[in-house]
């Protein structure tokens, strides 16, 4: 289920906590094979219900092999979307929609410039989606209406730009080919944020 309490957590406080944690980790790590990212997710392509307003996304990645000038790694993303849909009825109803995505990916990074500050990142993986709405109920056959679980493969591509030896900016678009309890669809997510290597 979507962690409802995240909606009420001030974004500034969350961002400050993440930054402090990364600075602490940097004091004890020198290899820079790990990275963490915080980003804003934007829905592109087919919609997924009414829940297309991004809240926050986080990424943890580890680079485990060198391939020429490039690096091969694995990452895990957690992404939250939330919106309130107003039903034009009498009386007017408001439904809260929540979507949580978990992505497990293998990625390859390679430099595009001589100074290796600009990197291309391509990724393949698998996604899980938990979609819910505020009034989930049991229907006649005992299944839950208002809660849907979907899954499917991911294809992604993006860029990162180093602004210091540890800090970088990142932009990526992932296309998830989802199937399950919702109609089959292609969900696109564009992610824009900042990352830290440690």
Considering the domain boundaries, does residue 6 fall inside one? no
| pLDDT of 8 strictly over 50 | no
Residue 23 lies in a domain: no
- Output the furthest CA–CA distance in the chain (Å, rounded): 64
Q: Which whole number is the average pLDDT over 14-42?
A: 70
Q: Are 196 and 35 in contact (CB under 8 A)?
A: yes
Residue 45, in any domain of the structure: yes
CATH number for the domain harbouring residue 64: 2.40.160.20
Span of 75-89, 134-148, 158-172 with lowest mean pLDDT? 134-148
Contacts of 84 (CB under 8 A, 6+ apart): 94, 95, 96, 97
Residue 18 lies in a domain: no
Provide the pLDDT for residue 4: 42
pLDDT tier at 47 (50, 70, 90 boundaries)? low
| Domain annotation covers residue 1 | no
Q: pTM for this one?
A: 0.75
64 burial (CB, 10 Å; 0-12 / 13-18 / 19+) is: exposed
**10 within a domain of the structure (yes/no):** no
Q: 104 versus 133: which is more confidently predicted?
A: 104
Please choose, from the candidates 14, 145, 133, the residue with its C-alpha nearest in 3D space to the C-alpha of residue 78. 14
Domain limits for position 151: 30-134+141-197
- CA 32 centroid distance within chain: 22
Instruction: Decide if 101 contacts 70 (C-beta within 8 A).
Output: no
Question: What is the pLDDT of the chain when averaged over all its residues?
Answer: 82
Q: Does 2 fall in a domain?
A: no
In a domain, 122, yes or no: yes
Cα 4 from Cα 99, distance rounded (Å): 11
pLDDT at residue 1, as a whole number:
43
Looking at the 3D structure of the chain, how many domains does it have?
Answer: 1
């Amino acid at each position: 289920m979507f962690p409802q309490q995240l909606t009420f957590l001030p974004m500034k406080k969350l961002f400050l906590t993440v930054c402090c944690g990364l600075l602490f980790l940097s004091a004890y790590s020198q290899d820079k094979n790990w990275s963490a990212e915080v980003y804003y997710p934007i829905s592109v392509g087919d919609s997924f219900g009414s829940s297309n307003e991004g809240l926050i996304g986080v990424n943890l990645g580890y680079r485990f092999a060198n391939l020429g000038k490039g690096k091969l790694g694995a990452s895990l993303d957690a992404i939250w979307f939330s919106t309130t849909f107003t039903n034009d009825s009498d009386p007017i109803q408001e439904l809260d929609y929540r979507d949580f995505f978990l992505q497990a990916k293998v990625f390859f990074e390679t430099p595009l410039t001589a100074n290796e500050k600009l990197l291309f990142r391509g990724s393949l993986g698998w996604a899980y989606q938990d979609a819910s709405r505020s009034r989930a109920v049991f229907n006649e056959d005992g299944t839950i209406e208002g809660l849907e679980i979907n899954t499917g493969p991911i294809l992604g591509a993006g860029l990162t730009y180093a602004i210091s030896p540890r800090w970088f900016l990142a932009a990526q678009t992932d296309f998830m080919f989802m199937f399950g309890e919702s109609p089959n669809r292609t969900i696109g997510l564009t992610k824009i944020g900042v990352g830290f290597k440690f």
